[in-house]
Structure 1
């Protein structure tokens, strides 16, 4: 008797390809994501065919009504390994003339500044992606998820752990028995560590890196930023079984952070209750407390460019605080928990992200389909 061996799950790996706006159904896996978790969330839905037959049941048979998937994965914020492309899928980067907002970083030849933000004046459709999940132990056991739209994004970190992001897509049911995508990686993987993350919480307004510096809260415990596009996959009459038409929902965004309750942070609670007025006020205000939040992550130097580092600046111009509270009993250290909803003004992007990186081009596949 031949004994079989079940291989380890570690042989799984996945790749991402952004579909160019003129491309057809799919994109090649242009970048391999060295992530830690992948959830296929694929589902085949069934319904019963019922009718009276003069027996003890009305269930005669069942049939398939829908096949769909919502793949998701988690990874650190790895430059050149999908981090920049995720922001393209979330916000876009259209400059108004159909070009990606990219420029060579001042004084360098191999560092680039990408700006990702919603084009409020001329809203653009989001990019589609194709996700491949390979299995290196065998040849034709990969899955290919087509027509992927980014539905949910969450970025989180703490004072002890490097920040990670999780993205969830709405896609067609995956094609299976696919050939494994080619695995290629940069020689070194670069991502921000916990000590390389700076959080700034300022009164709502416009800032530069210099002017917002006074509002840094360096001693945070944990934080998270999330965006939910509430995308649904709807099976329309013209869609083949396993495919769906993607329907954009109402976008929602939140920001949360936990800080030690100290002389430096306690006024955030009083400002919230007082409607961001005089901190000495003693009565609650009907006015909202609106903040501008920056998350800045600085990593390794880019090549030989002294003073030029891999860097991500996430600007959230308008967050309406919904709760700022600290416990008033217990034996643990006193903490301050902040929660807020991201609001949109209609005149600027609800988030703007600037990434300085050595990646010369985003992983967009513009090869026409045959």
Structure 2
């Protein structure tokens, strides 16, 4: 059985004639993590619903609101809910407290590589600050080594997400490139971003071709942020049809940034990309974003944009727009900032 690398993104060495006690212990630990996957909890309908709601709230930067929902599935043994509960608790407190660590460790015990990485990155651990960490608490470097020992063989065997995890573990750009070449849409997005920021050596026209290649691949792979970047790239090339197509596709995923942009474009606030004027739908899309009161810094922009659009339409049209907003929420994915799974 394989340890989990995802929800939802070792080179052969010499064979030793003998294995040390330390290596045997490590091997047993890895075997335990792998075998733990056979015992993943099967959630009830209520627990699964709570998990889904918790992750939606987490992706809207509402960590405090997400906690009670994630707790239901985490206590039932779901490794992904345990990971996100650990994330929510750590984000709320701004450091690794004992409660957050407990849930990361529960998730890591089931082979969740993301939980292992966060445990390995825990520089701000409350017990270290108070100098009372349990004597048997595994050190951060041990978690990172365990994650790498699981991820590297899978990456070498062609698993794209394991390649991306190896990049997160090592910050080796070669792993990011390999993951992108293997079709990982988040890795493709980051290849495009880093090249757009000036990394790599290209002739001027080659850089633009490479950036377009990566954003296009990420967009076609279904990554909302990749769709947005590809839309922006096409807009800068004066391909307005391409911009409108990919900006709308990104908005249809629930991605907050493109919903704001799409609504503004439809309402012609401003009119930059040639959308037919639809101020009612534009108002509706911006109005939906009022519920994002947890984080993300959207509310000032939302309030300002709604005031501009409302000056163009009647009170009856505003009432209609609010109905359109409700209908959209019922028929489209939930709003999301699509934060990186491995937050910092």
Greater fraction strand? 1
Same fold judged by TM-score > 0.5?
no
What's the TM-score once normalised by structure 1's chain length?
0.22
